[in-house]
Amino acid sequence: MASAVLEPWTNAMRLDESSTLRTHRYADRFSAVRVETTGPLSDAVRKSSSVPALLVSIFTRPIAVSDYRLWVGGKIVPTGRIAAFHSNVIDLAAEPASWADRGFENIHFHVRRGAIDDAATDLGYERIGDFRLSVAEDDIVLAQIAKSIVASLGRPSRVAPLALDHLELIIGAHIVQRYGATRSRRNVVGKGLAKWQRARATELLQENLDGTVRLADLARECQLSVGHFARSFKASFGIPCHQWLTERRIERAKRLLALTNSSLADVASHSGFSDQAAFTRTFHRRVGVTPGRWRREHGTHLCE
C-alpha cells in the first residue's frame, strides 16, 4: 500500500544545554522550522533526510565566531563571523552537524531534490547533478524569504499547505539558478492554462478555501507537472494560485460581513481562515482596515 503524502510542516523550537536532541532526520516533505538557542548546546545536532534534499538555513541574528560550529561530511567548516540573514545551503547527503551557544536563531528549510528537479525542468534546465556548498553567504532572495515567513513560524494559526507548496517551488527555482551547475536545455514559453484547465483549477480552489488542496492535486487534475501548472496558472491569472485563493477568501468575508450578523470568528471560519487572528491580519493587510471597521462602514444593518 502506498504511503500517505505528508503535508508541508512549519514549527518553532527552542534548545539549550538540557536538550537531548542529537540527531534529526527529515521526513519526505517540505518544512520550515525556526530554531533558537536559549543556552549553549551540550553537543552538536546532526541532520539527515529520508529523501535526497538540501538544507537551506538563514541566520536571523548575527553570530560571533565562537558561538557557532559547523561540520559537513564529518569535517569542520570555517564560518567566521556570520551577519544576520546570511545563509547556508548544504546537501543533506553530507549529514551536516552544528553546535551553537546562547542567542543563536535561524530558519531551516528542508527542500527536496524532487521539487528542485521539477523547478529545473520547468525553467528549461537539465536535471541538476551537484550543488555547490554555500556557507554564511549573502543571498538577498533567501534573506527576503526568511523575513517574510519568520513571524508565521510558531503561531497557533498554520500556514496553508498550498502556500507552502508554492514556497518550496520558489526556493527550489532559486537554488537551481544560483547554486546548481545548470545547463540550459530549451527555451520556456510562458503559456497559460487551457479554458477547461482554468475552470477545473478554480473549481477545486473554490471548494477548498482553507488552502488544504495541494499544488500537486491541482496539477494532476490539469494533467500538468507541478511546476508547469504553477507557471501556467500565474500566466493565466496574473498571480500565483495561493494569492488567487486569498482574494476569494477576502471576497467571501466581505459578503458575510456586509450581509450577516455573524461573529468575526464565524466569518473567519466560513471564509477559509484558520482562526480569527489570521483572518484579521490578512484582511487588514489586503484591505487596509480591520474586518470590524470595514463592517461598520459597509455593512447592511440587520435586525438582531
Residue 278 has what pLDDT? 87
Q: What is the mean pLDDT of residues 88-114?
A: 94
The CB density around residue 103, as the number of other CB atoms within 10 Å, is: 15
Residue 182 has what pLDDT? 66
Which residue pairs from 67-75 have beta carbons closer than 8 angstroms and sit at least 24 positions apart in sequence? 67/100, 67/101, 67/102, 67/103, 67/104, 68/98, 68/99, 68/100, 68/101, 68/104, 69/44, 69/98, 69/99, 69/100, 70/96, 70/97, 70/98, 70/135, 71/44, 71/96, 71/97, 71/98, 72/96, 72/133
Confidence of residue 211 (pLDDT cuts 50, 70, 90): confident
Residue 188 has what pLDDT? 54
Query: 195-238: which CATH topology?
Result: Arc Repressor Mutant, subunit A (1.10.10)
Mean pLDDT of the chain: 89
pLDDT at 3 exceeding the cut of 90: no
Distances (CA, A) of 203 to 50, 160, 174, 243: 35, 18, 30, 15
Q: Poorest-confidence range of 55-64, 156-165, 211-220? A: 156-165
Question: Which residues are registered as beta bridge partners of 112?
Answer: 53
| Topology match between the domains 9-179 and 195-238 | no
Q: What is d(CA 173, CA 39) in angstroms, rounded to the nearest whole number?
A: 36
CATH class for domain 248-298? Answer: mainly alpha
Residue 158 has what pLDDT? 75
Confidence of residue 77 (pLDDT cuts 50, 70, 90): very high
Q: Residue type at 2?
A: A
pLDDT at 69 exceeding the cut of 50: yes
Residue 303 has what pLDDT? 42
Residue 290 has what pLDDT? 93
Output b/e per residue, 149-176; b: 16+ Cβ within 10 A: bbebbeeebbbbbbbbbbbbbebbbbbb
pLDDT at 185 exceeding the cut of 70: no
The domains of the chain are located at 9-179, 195-238, 248-298
Please state whether beta strands 87-91 and 9-15 pair in parallel, antiparallel, or not at all (unpaired).
unpaired
pLDDT at 116 exceeding the cut of 70: yes
Residue 109 has what pLDDT? 97
The per-residue pLDDT for range 148-183, each reduced to its tens digit, is 999 888 777 778 889 999 999 999 999 998 998 766
The CB density around residue 48, as the number of other CB atoms within 10 Å, is: 16
Q: What is d(CA 269, CA 245) in angstroms, rounded to the nearest whole number?
A: 15
Tell me which of 299 and 286 has the higher pLDDT: 286
Residue 183 has what pLDDT? 63
Please state whether beta strands 45-49 and 75-76 pair in parallel, antiparallel, or not at all (unpaired).
unpaired
pLDDT at 205 exceeding the cut of 70: yes
> What is 9-179's CATH number?
2.60.120.10
Q: What is the mean pLDDT of residues 74-90?
A: 95
Give percent of the chain with pLDDT exceeding 70: 93
Confidence of residue 226 (pLDDT cuts 50, 70, 90): confident
Q: What is d(CA 166, CA 242) in angstroms, rounded to the nearest whole number?
A: 8
Residue 1 has what pLDDT? 38
Q: Residue type at 122?
A: D
Residue 62 has what pLDDT? 94
Q: What is the mean pLDDT of residues 111-128?
A: 84
Q: What is the mean pLDDT of residues 21-30?
A: 94
Residue 267 has what pLDDT? 94
Residue 228 has what pLDDT? 87
Q: What is the mean pLDDT of residues 250-257?
A: 94
Q: What is d(CA 85, CA 214) in angstroms, rounded to the nearest whole number?
A: 29
The per-residue pLDDT for range 124-149, each reduced to its tens digit, is 777 777 889 999 999 999 999 999 99
* CA-based nearest residue to 111, from 169, 36, 180: 169
Q: Residue type at 299?
A: G
- Coil, strand, or helix at residue 228? helix
